Structures are given as structure tokens and as C-alpha cells.
């Protein structure tokens, strides 16, 4: 234990002797959280919208007014016909074009189906889906308002069956995408920082020539390995506390779970990231190789974890592969603790998976770890 403590001290001194490392380890994750937290936002507002109003009636203008005042649509221009749509999209003057055909108001007054066309730039499929749903919802709201107005003006009473729908959203009442995405950003930052630091731990010793000094000491390989892992495990847990505090303070993400459970399960996740970083360092001879290998591990982990794309929407083969990604389990853990306040009685399958992966990766790294050059 005394030798391990000395290795830990050496690692801290070697890591933090460059003051810029403090910025990279503790300040950079918060900056990344702020940048990614605002950038990775699925809420769409202020959609640039062009209008083709060929009806030119009070009803068509009223519809345009409702869309503009909703806060979701910014009217950027009016055009005479659909021939201008290609140019509008190409020059990015608008992302959505709403075409109101002749006879729109007449059919509304007759309580008939009034046609309305939405033209959406589908080059970004995610945006196109959300924008189409937003437009459809806004138009339905206008149709309901118009129907009520027509019934109020009617000279006779008409009984129309109504269904009173009450929608209650649990865990995220405002349906803010940041509440869902920011915990994922925390997972991603923790994955990148801890894996990157650990992967360079041994390769740095080789490059700066201190591995020769370690070879002639009585330090056992397991002691050297623990001495390399413990400092970055502590750094990772410090980053967890720092980033979680920033997420709550800056983005207002609700934290409904147990903070001690969060740190405990974060420790299980750190077993996988630190173990993988150590394994990468055993197969790399330079820090450049370690960095490239780390990115080869990080990128598939992020893509297949469900951070950007729901796992259920992936092909069956890809869904099976995701079970081999530790980040998938930690992502579910963090979102459940933050939003649902879930406990270990619910999260134990994910925790068990992280424990198995962590112990497995650590053992594999220990088998490959040798206190020698080459």
C-alpha cells in the first residue's frame, strides 16, 4: 500500500506540474457541458417560414397571424407560387414554405376539408420531422379556434360530442430537451476525459523515459497499475460532482435522485473507462497511438449508446451490439436518477452490467500489463 500511495503521488505531481492540465481536467469539462448543452438541443423554435397565400382572405391572413404569434414560426417572405420554392430552399431564405390555395376560406365556411400544403426542407430529416409535427399542431389549434367561432355565430344550437383529453407529462413536464440531453452530455464528457487520461498514462512513461526507472524498482505490476488508476478515478469522481452541479445550476436540470447512489454508480462506470484506457495504453507505444485508439473506442460508444439516436430505431444487429457498450447502461442510469429519481432497486440490472464490464476490462488489462519496455 505504501508503494501504491507513492505511485499515486508521483502521478498527481507528473500530471499537475503543468498548470494547463488543471484547466483541461476541471475547467474544460464545464465549458464542454455549456457548449454541448446549448448546442445539443432538440427544441425547435423560430422556424424561418415563407408564405404562398393564393387565397388572400381574412381567414388565410388570420392563419398566418396565428402561426407568426405562436413563437415557433418567423415569417421571412411572401411569394406568389410554388415555382419559387426551390430557390427559397437553395438560398436558405426559409426552412418551411406554407402554401394556402384558392378557396381555402370558402371551404372553411362550409365546414369542409380545406387543403393546406406544407413544404419542408428535408435535408435534415430530424428537423423536417419535428417541424412537420409543429406545423400540424399549430394548424389543428387554428382549426379548433375557427370551429368554435363558427358555432358561436350559428343561430341554432348544435350539440357536438366532445372528448376532453388531459395530457400529463411525468418527469419532464415542460418537455425540455435539455433535461434529457444534458445527462447524456455528462456521460460523454466523463467517457472522453477519463479514458483519454488513462490511455496516456503508460505511454507517457515510455516516451519521457521514466519507465526505465520504474523497471528497476521493487514495484509489482499490479501496484503500478493501481497507482495509475486511482488518481484518475478520483479525478473522474471530482468531474462528476463538478459537472452535475453545473448541469443543475446552469441548465436547471432537475435532480430527483440520490447523490450518493449517483457517485457509486459513476464509480462502476469509471471501472470501464479507466480499464479501457489502461488496456489501450498497453497496446500503444506512443501518446499519438493512444489518442487515436481512444477515439476509435469513444466514437462507436457515443453513436451506439442511444445518446443521439434511440436504440429502438437502430437495425436489429446494431441493437444487439449496443449491449456491449457500457455507455448505454450508464446513460440510462444517469437519466433515470436525474429525471425519475430511480433507486438501486430499479437500476440494479444496469449497475450489474457495468460491474461485469468493468471487472472484465480491468482483468484483461492486468493480463496484458507488463512492467517492461517494448
Distance CA 60, CA 270 (A): 58
Give residue 163's pLDDT.
45
Q: What tens digit of pLDDT does each residue of 302-318 get?
A: 888 888 777 877 888 88
* Cβ atoms 230, 8 nearer than 8 A: yes
3-state secondary structure of 345: helix
Task: Read off the C-alpha cell for 10.
Answer: 508521483
Residue 118 dihedral angles phi and psi, to the nearest 5°: -110, 130
Task: Detail the DSSP E strand segments found in the chain.
Answer: 47-53, 73-79, 96-100, 117-120
Say what percent of the chain tops pLDDT 90: 12
Please compute Rg for the chain using Cα positions: 28
State the DSSP H helix or E strand holding residue 10, giving kind and residue range, or none if neither.
Answer: helix 2-16
Give residue 166's pLDDT.
60
Whole-model pTM: value is: 0.73
Nearest to 333 by CA among 233, 231, 264: 264
User: Is the predicted pLDDT of residue 209 greater than 90, yes or no?
Assistant: no
3-state secondary structure 174-191: CCCHHHHHHHHHHHHHHH
Question: What size, in residues, is the chain?
Answer: 374
User: Is the predicted pLDDT of residue 142 greater than 70, yes or no?
Assistant: yes
Query: The domain 47-153 is classified under which CATH number: 3.40.1710.10, 3.40.190.10, 3.30.390.30, 3.20.20.70?
Result: 3.40.1710.10
User: Is the predicted pLDDT of residue 161 greater than 60, yes or no?
Assistant: no
3-state secondary structure of 158: coil
Task: Read off the C-alpha cell for 122.
Answer: 428535408
**Domain-by-domain residue ranges, the chain?**
2-41+176-368, 47-153
User: Is the predicted pLDDT of residue 81 greater than 50, yes or no?
Assistant: yes
Mean predicted lDDT score pLDDT of the chain: 80
Distance CA 340, CA 360 (A): 30
Task: Read off the C-alpha cell for 280.
Answer: 489501450
Distance CA 217, CA 185 (A): 41
Give the β-pairing of 96-100 and 73-79.
unpaired
Give residue 31's pLDDT.
80
Q: What tens digit of pLDDT does each residue of 316-367 get?
A: 888 899 999 999 999 999 989 998 888 899 899 999 999 999 999 988 887 8
Higher pLDDT, 155 or 259: 259
Average pLDDT over residues 81-104: 82
Nearest to 97 by CA among 143, 142, 146, 53: 53
* Cβ atoms 282, 221 nearer than 8 A: no
Distance CA 66, CA 333 (A): 41
Distance CA 328, CA 318 (A): 13
Distance CA 159, CA 134 (A): 30
Average pLDDT over residues 251-277: 90
Nearest to 204 by CA among 286, 274, 292: 286
Distance CA 34, CA 52 (A): 39
Q: Concatenated DSSP letters for 119-164? A: EE-TTSHHHHHHHHHHHHHHHHHHHHHHHHHHHHH-SS--------
Amino acid at each position: 500500500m505504501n508503494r501504491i500511495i507513492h505511485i499515486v503521488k508521483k502521478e498527481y505531481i507528473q500530471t499537475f506540474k503543468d498548470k494547463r492540465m488543471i484547466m483541461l481536467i476541471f475547467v474544460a469539462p464545464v465549458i464542454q457541458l455549456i457548449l454541448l448543452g446549448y448546442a445539443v438541443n432538440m427544441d425547435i423554435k423560430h422556424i424561418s417560414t415563407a408564405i404562398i397565400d393564393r387565397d388572400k382572405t381574412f381567414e388565410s391572413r388570420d392563419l398566418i397571424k396565428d402561426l407568426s404569434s405562436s413563437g415557433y414560426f418567423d415569417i421571412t417572405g411572401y411569394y406568389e407560387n410554388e415555382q419559387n420554392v426551390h430557390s427559397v430552399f437553395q438560398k436558405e431564405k426559409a426552412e418551411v414554405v406554407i402554401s394556402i390555395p384558392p378557396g381555402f376560406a370558402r371551404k372553411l365556411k362550409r365546414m369542409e376539408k380545406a387543403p393546406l400544403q406544407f413544404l419542408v426542407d428535408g435535408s435534415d430529416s430530424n428537423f423536417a420531422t419535428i417541424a412537420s409535427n409543429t406545423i400540424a399542431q399549430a394548424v389543428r389549434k387554428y382549426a379548433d379556434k375557427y370551429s368554435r367561432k363558427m358555432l358561436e355565430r350559428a343561430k341554432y344550437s348544435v350539440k357536438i360530442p366532445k372528448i376532453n383529453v388531459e395530457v400529463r407529462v411525468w418527469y419532464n413536464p415542460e418537455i425540455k430537451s435539455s433535461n434529457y440531453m444534458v445527462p447524456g452530455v455528462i456521460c460523454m464528457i466523463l467517457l472522453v476525459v477519463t479514458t483519454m487520461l488513462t490511455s496516456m498514462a503508460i505511454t507517457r512513461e515510455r516516451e519521457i523515459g521514466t519507465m526505465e526507472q520504474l523497471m528497476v524498482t521493487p514495484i509489482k505490476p499490479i501496484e503500478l497499475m493501481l497507482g495509475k488508476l486511482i488518481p484518475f478515478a478520483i479525478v473522474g469522481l471530482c468531474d462528476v460532482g463538478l459537472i452535475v452541479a453545473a448541469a443543475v445550476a446552469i441548465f436547471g436540470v432537475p435532480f430527483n435522485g440520490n447523490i450518493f447512489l449517483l457517485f457509486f454508480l459513476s464509480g462502476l462506470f469509471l471501472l470501464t473507462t479507466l480499464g479501457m484506457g489502461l488496456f489501450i495504453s498497453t497496446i500503444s507505444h506512443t501518446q499519438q497511438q493512444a489518442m487515436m485508439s481512444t477515439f476509435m473506442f469513444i466514437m462507436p460508444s457515443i453513436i451506439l449508446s442511444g445518446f443521439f439516436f434511440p436504440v429502438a430505431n437502430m437495425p436489429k444487429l446494431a441493437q444487439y451490439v449496443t449491449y456491449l457498450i457500457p455507455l448505454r447502461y450508464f446513460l440510462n442510469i444517469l437519466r433515470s436518477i436525474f429525471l425519475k429519481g430511480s433507486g438501486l432497486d430499479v437500476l440494479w440490472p444496469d449497475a450489474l452490467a457495468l460491474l461485469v464490464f468493468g471487472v472484465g476490462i480491468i482483468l484483461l488489462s492486468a493480463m496484458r500489463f507488463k512492467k517492461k519496455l517494448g
